[in-house]
Structure 1
Amino acid sequence: MLIGSLGKGFRLPRGILSKQHCTSLYSTIWQGEPTFLEAVDIYFEKAAKLAAATPDILNQIKSASKLQACNNLLKLQFPLKRSDGTVQLIEAYRAQHSHHRLPVKGGIRMAPNVEANETMALAALMTFKCALVDIPFGGAKGGIKVDPTKYCLLEKEAIVRRYTSELVKKSFIGPALDVPAPDYGTGPQEMAWIKDTYEQLRSDINGSACVTGKPLEEGGIHGRQEATGLGVFYCLREFFNSEDCVNSLGLNLGIKGKSFIIQGFGNVGRHTSTFVQEAGGRIIAIAELGGGLVDESGAGLDVGQVQRYQEQHGTISGFPRAKTVLETSSLLELPCDVLIPAALESQIHTGNAARIQAKLIVEAANGPVTPPAEKLLEEKGIIILPDLLLNAGGVTVSYFEWLKNLNHIHFGRMSRRMEEHGKKELLNVLEHQFGNGNRLSEEVRKVLTKGNTEADFVSSGLEETMLVTWEKVKNTAKQRGCNFRTAAYLIAIERIAACYKVNGIFP
């Protein structure tokens, strides 16, 4: 079913938690708080009050369902014959929030709590996120309402391929239309199935650009797996390199020695914690579905060892060099310098915000802090680095992958050897003119003459994107007297408004 313009007052039922604490990473919303879609709208409205855009433009890009949730919302239902012979009806969605730029871009998640409001909210967030980091995409999001851990590989493949074929039929996927990517519960394998299904159904020379986050063998790009976590780290590093920022928290410069708690040890959480540990940060706790860990050594958890244990046992629970905690929600409330929620939305809410003891919250996940919780946290002096910027590394590198697929050549192929040759010639001249007969060692020469690989281009491009955007967000927050989240939304809104004006949609 294709739902076009959603009218005033449109609402879907919201989930309500009955327990005192959120104990599952699949939890939805604390009783009485805004839904995720409403939360995005609240943040939008707060920034819109500061924006120079006219009301008609603001209404056009507004994410609230009372005006216009998304340009298009596709709801799908299709049967799945399971390995035991039973037939199950699968529910899925694809939301396209804004077509001010094409293609639209956004991940596909597989989770049991997927529903229309959440999908629309994530699509709206993608619109603002792409605008914030100046990537030429509109926002989209997809979701399949299943718990991927309850299905075998063949069943998951059947689900993903059928979902893709339905998207193709409805023109909801294509290199110039809508480009999905991995999200919670999906990864490179699912993206490979999507690409293969699309190319079977469409004769398109640019077919590999219909989806990003693919395996390298299928047209993926070096650095995509760690991109979101690395983007989080780049912004975190810059925050701790800013005297104004760290002084406001009563901390000293640098990540080294700071204590961190990570919620979610999936792709984003693992890579973020790895980069933090390499920079000298101490991971004192990890909260994960099915059990969490607390460091008792004082030196911090060894992220590499935890990851290897997880790969062997399918869980981090029981890791021998730490204390296992089953009530993982309590780990968010331990004293620390930095709390990094890297799981799902609405994990910090009015039910636990008063007990959060972190000095800084870094939103590696989408929407982990609800608006009422944000107010409580800021009253306690806790600073929040917003998801809109912090986890934009994934879509940034997805953009690089999309460009690579459209150009049909990997970055560095035409320039690497030329760079190395030029550097070697320069070293030869310098050694001859100023070396007094001495030559640099082969090891040093190898380092100095190394040409840029695709991974180097990706890392450099990601760092440039995140640092430039962080500086703009920081300066905007200072100039406009608002927090970092409002500054990020404000930048995004004004860029989208400028796009509408240039396109002649509004005078």
Structure 2
Amino acid sequence: MLSFKRPVLLAGRLFRNSHSTNGDLSFLDSVDHYFNKAAEISSVDKGLLAFIKACNSIIKFHVPLKRACGKLELIEGYRAQHSHHRLPVKGGIRLGPNVDANETMALAALMTYKCAVVNVPFGGAKGSVRIDPSKYTSTEKEAILRRYTVELVRRNYMGPAIDVPAPDYGTGSLEMAWIKDTYSFLRHTDINASGCVTGKPISEGGIQGRQEATGLGAFFVLREFFNDEDLVRKVGLTRGVKDKTFIVQGLGNVGLHASEFIHRAGGRIIAIAERHGGLVDETGKGLDIEVVKSYHKKNGTLNGLPNVKNITDTEKILELPCDVLIPAALESQIHSGNADRIKAKVIAEAANGPLTPAADKILEGKGVVILPDLLVNAGGVTVSYFEWLKNLNHIEFGRMTRRMEEHGKRVLLSALENQYGNGHKIPTSLRDELSRGNTEVDFVHSGLEETMVTGWENVKKTAQEKGCSFRKAAYLVAIERIAKSIGDQGIFP
């Protein structure tokens, strides 16, 4: 396979090739580094470990685009399929000016390990298109992504049983609708065509709860961590999310929803760092997330929000004292150049690969607890799995059971009133609440919570048994689960 290398941008600083003078690795090398560290304490055969780590395949192609100004451009596209031990493979499509083969392969590898950690039956994949989405019109982006879809289908790199993309940085539900429509046109006899992509609008076969899934999943992991008194005591904190201080980097889909759930649980968001500016609360009460959300939606920036401190050097926000730092932006944001200035007691990696191995080592040496990306941001692919299942079953969750549940609950409540009520009736509002049947979003949130809590328990147990970090434990869980799947298939007799 060709080796694709490029300078790596780490939080505004340029690092050359795989190794910088400061000791930071590239994103792909970082993922391999973490894998290798976990592999050292696994019982898996070395040949099988090499097979698990290797990217099975990657394609690169060019998409022609005639822009509104009449200029003809060639747009670079990639799709990496890291592991086919489970099918379909799964992973988002990212738009960015600096994406390349190495980054795409790194993200695909993370998807493989992430799915294994939370026991979602997919192999890992990732796609990318090398453009700055802010410099292209919606019509131009639609043309690019429709042609990108054509190229994937032409190479048999897409389909509900083959490879199922999803949103990532620079894409959302609208872009997934374009992809689904293009695939359905090309494969018009495929009855499961809606399952070719996830993260779609509800009207196009999407699922309730997908938008907040990654942020909610991150919250579930944080909640479980803070419910463990022994763990939080080691970092000098008390149980519960309430009154803990949080700093969030990134107010995209992940950071925003994580902030909302933390705020509802009583946590205090004391600062938010965004690409074009950040906010710091100086009242001690924490930022009002609903006000921040509304302002950001209206203005497209946090700059100028009244009654809070506005900061332009957003990297400095990461270095403010807090209980929990949540990097929810891009990879390699905490590195050898700033790790020693991080004052958080806990870091929850809601982004993919936000810490370099050099930063990881520095922070672990300071006693910082790192909740790894393989688990923390697995909520998105978990609910994508539910959406895929919904598409294959051609029915929304709850449609067959909701009315039956409500009828059964009403009968039970009436029986309780007649038997034990002594003439007293349950108030109508309470009766309505108690007898409400489960909706699709109820099933999704319940399934997500079960997945994230079980994933956390497995990672925590492994870390305790092996005496290692949560990151190494997460990689070890993934390695051993993938190895078992491959072994059960008889690929390595």
Q: TM-score if structure 1 supplies the norm length?
A: 0.94
Q: Secondary structure at the match of 1:358?
A: coil
The answer on 1:137 being equivalent to 2:128 is no
Q: How many Å apart are 1:51 and its aligned residue?
A: 1.2
How many angstroms apart in 2 are the aligned matches of 1:307 and 1:16?
28
* Structural mapping, 1:55-454, within 5 Å: 55-62=46-53, 68=54, 70-203=55-188, 204-454=190-440
Please give the per-residue CA displacement for 1:288-338, whole angstroms capped at 9, x wherever unaligned: 011111112221111111111111111111111211111111110011111
Matched to 1:234, the amino acid is: F
Matched to 1:455, the amino acid is: V
How many angstroms apart in 1 are the aligned matches of 2:307 and 2:475?
42
Residue 112 of structure 2 contacts residue 123 of structure 2 at CA under 8 Å; is this kept in 1?
A: yes
Please give the per-residue CA displacement for 1:344-384, whole angstroms capped at 9, x wherever unaligned: 00000000001000000000000000001100001111110
Pick aligned residue for 1:22 from 7, 12, 23: 12
Residue 110 of structure 1 contacts residue 145 of structure 1 at CA under 8 Å; is this kept in 2?
A: yes
How many angstroms apart in 2 are the aligned matches of 1:45 and 1:15?
21
Pick aligned residue for 1:46 from 26, 37, 45: 37
Pick aligned residue for 1:492 from 467, 478, 487: 478
How many angstroms apart in 2 are the aligned matches of 1:29 and 1:405?
44
How many angstroms apart in 2 are the aligned matches of 1:348 and 1:379?
15
How many angstroms apart in 2 are the aligned matches of 1:211 and 1:116?
21
Residue 4 of structure 2 contacts residue 101 of structure 2 at CA under 8 Å; is this kept in 1?
A: no
Q: Secondary structure at the match of 1:369?
A: coil
Matched to 1:364, the amino acid is: A
Matched to 1:77, the amino acid is: H
How many angstroms apart in 1 are the aligned matches of 2:19 and 2:179?
31
How many angstroms apart in 2 are the aligned matches of 1:197 and 1:436?
63
Q: Secondary structure at the match of 1:131?
A: helix
Matched to 2:107, the amino acid is: L
Please give the per-residue CA displacement for 1:8-32, whole angstroms capped at 9, x wherever unaligned: xx34223356xxx6389xxx99654
* C-alpha RMSD of the superposition: 1.4
Residue 270 of structure 1 contacts residue 307 of structure 1 at CA under 8 Å; is this kept in 2?
A: yes
How many angstroms apart in 1 are the aligned matches of 2:132 and 2:20?
21
Q: How many Å apart are 1:437 and its aligned residue?
A: 1.6
Q: Secondary structure at the match of 2:323?
A: strand
Q: Secondary structure at the match of 1:351?
A: coil
The answer on 1:13 being equivalent to 2:6 is yes
How many angstroms apart in 2 are the aligned matches of 1:80 and 1:127?
32
Matched to 2:115, the amino acid is: C
How many angstroms apart in 1 are the aligned matches of 2:99 and 2:268?
34
Residue 30 of structure 1 contacts residue 350 of structure 1 at CA under 8 Å; is this kept in 2?
A: no
How many angstroms apart in 2 are the aligned matches of 1:258 and 1:407?
42
How many angstroms apart in 1 are the aligned matches of 2:405 and 2:364?
49
Q: Secondary structure at the match of 2:476?
A: helix
Question: 1:173 and 1:29, CA in 2 relative to 1: closer, same or farther beyond 3 A?
Answer: farther
Q: How many Å apart are 1:56 and its aligned residue?
A: 1.7
Residue 411 of structure 1 contacts residue 454 of structure 1 at CA under 8 Å; is this kept in 2?
A: yes
For structure 1, the 5+ residue unaligned runs are: 1-5, 63-67
Matched to 1:57, the amino acid is: L
How many angstroms apart in 1 are the aligned matches of 2:379 and 2:413?
36
Q: How many Å apart are 1:167 and its aligned residue?
A: 0.7
How many angstroms apart in 1 are the aligned matches of 2:315 and 2:6?
25
Q: Secondary structure at the match of 2:8?
A: coil
Q: Secondary structure at the match of 2:248?
A: strand
How many angstroms apart in 1 are the aligned matches of 2:357 and 2:77?
27
Q: After alignment, is 190-199 or 421-430 more displaced?
A: 421-430
How many angstroms apart in 2 are the aligned matches of 1:481 and 1:223?
36
Residue 4 of structure 2 contacts residue 100 of structure 2 at CA under 8 Å; is this kept in 1?
A: no
How many angstroms apart in 1 are the aligned matches of 2:387 and 2:9?
39
Please give the per-residue CA displacement for 1:246-277, whole angstroms capped at 9, x wherever unaligned: 01101011111111110000000000001111
Residue 88 of structure 2 contacts residue 161 of structure 2 at CA under 8 Å; is this kept in 1?
A: yes
How many angstroms apart in 2 are the aligned matches of 1:504 and 1:92?
34
How many angstroms apart in 2 are the aligned matches of 1:321 and 1:270?
20
Q: Secondary structure at the match of 1:95?
A: strand
For structure 2, the 5+ residue unaligned runs are: none
Residue 3 of structure 1 is matched in structure 2 by none
Question: 1:345 and 1:429, CA in 2 relative to 1: closer, same or farther beyond 3 A?
Answer: same
Q: Secondary structure at the match of 2:157?
A: coil
Residue 22 of structure 1 contacts residue 329 of structure 1 at CA under 8 Å; is this kept in 2?
A: no
Q: How many Å apart are 1:244 and its aligned residue?
A: 1.2
Q: Secondary structure at the match of 2:354?
A: coil
Q: TM-score if structure 2 supplies the norm length?
A: 0.97
Residue 65 of structure 1 is matched in structure 2 by none
Q: How many Å apart are 1:83 and its aligned residue?
A: 1.2
Number of residue pairs matched? 488
Q: Secondary structure at the match of 1:141?
A: strand
How many angstroms apart in 2 are the aligned matches of 1:108 and 1:98?
17
